[in-house]
Chain A
Amino acid sequence: MQLDEMKIRQDGLNIRIIQTKKFKTNQLVLKFKSLLSEEKVTARALLPYVLQSSTEKWPTTALFRSHLDDLYGASASVDVNKKGEYHILTFAVDIANEKYLQDNTPLTEQALNVLNEMVFHPLLEDGAFSRKVVESEKRTLNQKLKAVKDDKMRYASQRLVEEMCSGEAYALHPNGIESELEKITPEKLMEAYQQMISSDEVDLYIVGDIDSGQMEELCKEKFSIASRDNVKAIQKNIAIEDSKKIIEKQQIKQGKLNIGYRSNTFYGDSDYLSMAVMNGILGGFPHSKLFMNVREKESLAYYAASRLESHKGLIVIMSGVEPAKIERAETIIEEQLEAIKNGDISDQELSQTKAVMTNQMLETLDSPRGIIEVLYQGETAGIPVKIQDWFDGIDRVTKEDVTEAAKKLLKDTTYILTAKEVAESA
């Protein structure tokens, strides 16, 4: 299993061109990576939204979107997220491959133009962003930050991380801090923009049925990014003396029980894949211990799963449980992890988990965005991904490796969101 991949380093820009005949559209993604920090996070979170709302050539959303519609419904989107302690801003354009249209006018170069215009040619007034656009995007972001609390599943996940990693950059929400938002002026935003352009690590991905050589030429022509230093977060092991428990109450019907563990295993570590398989056995899939025991055997929850935060060394368990049964669920969850630590893993569990993880990776490579995210996952950590090594590595993980990985887990924080009035359990 290999990708038809071409890597080019052009000053400060890493270019990856992936040739494939799978898709009917071509996908272009530009990523900016910086360290998460309290002082920068909010302005950076606002930036992509301001940039996509007004450019020199297309000063309003309506004009920009009309242009995209005319390019056979090209889609342009922005996204803000975090990977470990990195803050990542993503600009993406997906465009029809003209091979499948009656009209054969080449479109991919146009898509590069869109990406270039969106990121590098913002609409400016007196050397700063348009005040009107900034105000309007601040309002939207403010509403988005408020609304996090309204999706209880997401809210519980965020609160766990805030409590567990309090004092660490990872506790920050990628969309920023509500109280900081009002302080952002067009001028301050401009500073954040200039900093992003001059010092972020920049990666460009192009995936599709394209001529790689021609793409390379076009990228060189359209993008000029000065050389800069790599952006590197410090990964440190965290010791836990006493685990914390936080209980919060709202007027809700279903409780959320989330538990965070420190794995202190990071992407690229020698035991990273063992930890990933451990997570799969614990709660990654419908055959995993959490699902089978918390849900199927005990009927305690509709969902009970675990997730690996590969760039921060965390394992997080999430479940939605009837408020009166949270304690019971906590016990069963603990028992599942203990079982893995004690080597109570069947051959079937191990082989199923490997098979499903392998399947999942292969499936991810069937979507343009999936290919990009898999490659970027490695790039973020400074370790280029070799797909075949990943498959071989998963295959080599033994039961003992999994047990050893589980033994590394340190319970850090339990976060419970529960109902104000707990109904008597039937």
Chain B
Amino acid sequence: MHKKMFAQLDEELYIEKMTNGLQVCILPKKDFNKTFATFTTKYGSIDNQFIPLGEEDYIRVPDGVAHFLEHKMFEKEEGDVFQKFSMNGASANAFTSFTRTAYLFSSTSNFEKNLDVLIDFVQAPYFTEETVEKEKGIIGQEITMYDDNADWRLYFGAIENMFKNHPVKVDIAGTVESISEITKDHLYQCYNTFYHPSNMMLFIVGAVDPEEVMNHVRDNQSAKSFEPEETINRRFADEPDTVNRVHHELKMDVQVSKCMVGIKSDAKEISGKELMKKELAVNTALDILFGKTSKHYTSLYDEGLIDDHFSYDFTQENNFGFALVGSNTPDPEKLSAQIKEILLNEVQSPSITEDQLQSVKKKNIGGFLRSLNSPEFIANQFTRYAFNDMDLFEAVPVLETLTLDDVHKAFSSLVQEDRITSFYILPKENA
């Protein structure tokens, strides 16, 4: 076990790699009542083509299988795992993203018992044809709920506009049709390939003694046997740098139109510090251009083109990335035209100043401190960063070294006319 100190932040992080390959991190929070733990596999909705463990050829699994698997992990021969957590006063949950599946709980008592429940249920798959069939009804309802959710449709509409082949374009839960093809064999195949301890991270934040908990995890893991660690072979279809389609729109039973502009990142693989720098630089540029202190925000708001739903963000993962800028708006066409103009103008004639950069840095330093109030943030973000070979606690130091030149370079390599797309949600006439 080794220890990292962050003296200025008054935080300590304990890290150990178990002999089976599992990464375990513990961040003690002295005065907290609760402890929060996440057990995450580097496996999400985009991992739909891979060589199953022990086999030789690539297969393609139905859309939505990672999320389906997440649901089914909770059901065991002896019943529902939620019951066990609530008996120990814990609240549990799980989520599936493009690149990760995470199982988590928080509790204020019986921590080690709950930790065993978490580790043990994720490490003991139990799938039957019958339970798989039953789940199709529940997930089908989850899918239709999202189908009716205009913000979700807007988000995914913009992503589908950007990507032609990359599986990020597929809804995380799949479709009612795609999940109908899922069998228990798919689940075992995916489980065996992606839930090996060496592809996972256990993160614990809260009122714990790190030595004791690390010992506890060691004992838990050494009592189980695992296959030797193997490299996982994933495959992604070739993706052009340009967008799939420049524009698309959808009519729904809504009152207020919505507009989202998407900017697609190139398909070059990226990780570690390079990724961190790119993500921070582009987000800094977006913050300066579209934040509440910017002249663009002021004029868009004064013109009535945006409201407090206005948002912007840039995410970069290993082989895909995108920026999104959007809002509820009475005039999606005008808004998207203005956003595009602001973006392209900034590439043509850079306006960002050193003062603005310093101000964003200051703001983000305070923002990071605020995030450290949240065990959920620490565990989820640290894991996401670690899966991309980055260290969450490096984010502020890297941000502090960003120069105007870094920001401009990252921004202008991202923002190119043929990588920009727009998507609208429009009210149905006589709905």
Residues of A within 8 A of B (CB): 20-25, 60-62, 65-66, 68-75, 94-97, 99-102, 136, 139-140, 143-144, 146-147, 149-153, 250-254, 285-287, 292, 295-296, 299-303, 320-322, 348, 351-353, 355-356, 358-360, 362-363, 365-368
Q: Which B residues are in CB contact (< 8 Å) with A367?
A: 373-374
| Cβ-defined contact, B141 with A147, below 8 A | no
B370 touches A94 (CB 8 A): yes
Q: Does B365 contact A (CB under 8 A)?
A: yes
Query: Which of the segments B40-48, B89-97, B116-124 contacts the partner chain?
Result: B89-97
Does B80 contact A292, Cβ atoms closer than 8 Å? Answer: yes
28 A-B pairs whose Cβ atoms sit less than 8 Å apart in the complex: A20-B31, A61-B292, A61-B297, A61-B298, A61-B301, A62-B298, A65-B293, A71-B366, A72-B363, A94-B370, A97-B369, A101-B365, A136-B304, A150-B255, A151-B149, A152-B149, A252-B148, A286-B92, A287-B83, A296-B138, A300-B137, A302-B138, A355-B88, A359-B91, A362-B33, A365-B33, A366-B33, A367-B374
**Residue among B10, B147, B255, B295 with most chain A CB within 10 A:** B255
Contact of A287 among B82, B142, B291, B308 (CB under 8 A): B82
Q: Which 10 A-B pairs have the closest CB atoms?
A: A299-B137, A73-B366, A72-B366, A355-B89, A73-B363, A362-B108, A302-B141, A362-B33, A352-B86, A65-B292
Q: How far, in angstroms, from A254 to B140 measured CA to CA in the complex? A: 10
B366 to chain A, nearest CB (A): 3
Query: Which has the most chain B C-beta neighbours within 10 Å: A150, A292, A300, A352?
Result: A150
Check if B38 is an interface residue, CB within 8 A of chain A: no
Residue pair A24, B33 in contact (C-beta under 8 Å) = no
Identify which of residues 93-113 in chain B touch chain A, using a CB-to-CB cut-off of 8 Å. 106-109
Contact B148–A254 (Cβ < 8 Å): yes
Tell me, yes or no, whether B428 is within 8 Å of chain A by CB: yes
B contact residues around A353 at 8 Å (CB):
86
**Contact A24:B9 (CB < 8 A) given known A60-B298, A250-B253:** yes
B144 lies within 8 A of chain A by Cβ: yes
Q: Chain B residues near A322: list those with CB within 8 A.
A: 140-141, 144
Assess whether B9 is in contact with A69, with CB atoms less than 8 Å apart.
no
Residues of B contacting A95 in the complex (Cβ-Cβ under 8 angstroms)? 366
Q: A24-B9, A296-B80, A352-B87 are in contact. Are A254 and B253 (CB under 8 A)?
A: no
Known: A66-B293, A152-B149. 5 other contacts (CB 8 A): A71-B366, A73-B363, A101-B365, A348-B87, A355-B88
Residues of chain A within 8 A (CB-CB) of B8 are 100-102
A117 to B304, CA, bound (A): 26
Name B's A-contacting residues (CB within 8 A). Answer: 8-10, 29-34, 80, 82-83, 86-92, 106-109, 134-142, 144-145, 147-151, 252-256, 291-295, 297-298, 301-302, 304, 307-309, 328, 330, 359-360, 362-367, 369-370, 372-375, 428, 431
Chain A, Cβ-Cβ closest to B255: A146
Asked if A363 contacts B108 (CB within 8 A), the reply is yes
Q: Chain A's nearest CB lies how many Å from the CB of B86?
A: 4
The minimal Cβ–Cβ distance linking B418 to chain A, given in whole angstroms, is 32
Instruction: Contact check, A136 vs B301: say whether CB atoms are below 8 A apart.
Output: yes
* Contact status of A66 and B374, CB under 8 A, knowing A61-B292, A253-B144, A359-B107: no
Distance in angstroms from A355 CB to nearest chain B CB is: 3
How far is the CB of A323 from the nearest CB of chain B, in Å? 9
Report the Cα distance A144→B330, complex, angstroms: 12
Distance of A151 from chain B, by nearest CB (Å): 7
- A65 vs B292: C-alpha distance in the bound complex, in angstroms? 6
Q: Which residue of B lies closest to A71 (CB)?
A: B366
Minimal beta-carbon separation of A46 from chain B (angstroms): 13
- Nearest CB of B to A54, in Å: 12
The residue in chain A whose Cβ has the minimal distance to the Cβ of B292 is A65
Q: Are B150 and A150 in contact (CB under 8 A)?
A: yes
B residues in contact with A72, CB < 8 Å: 362-363, 365-366, 369
CB distance from B277 to the nearest CB of A (A): 20
Q: A73-B366, A147-B255 are in contact. Are A360 and B144 (CB under 8 A)?
A: no
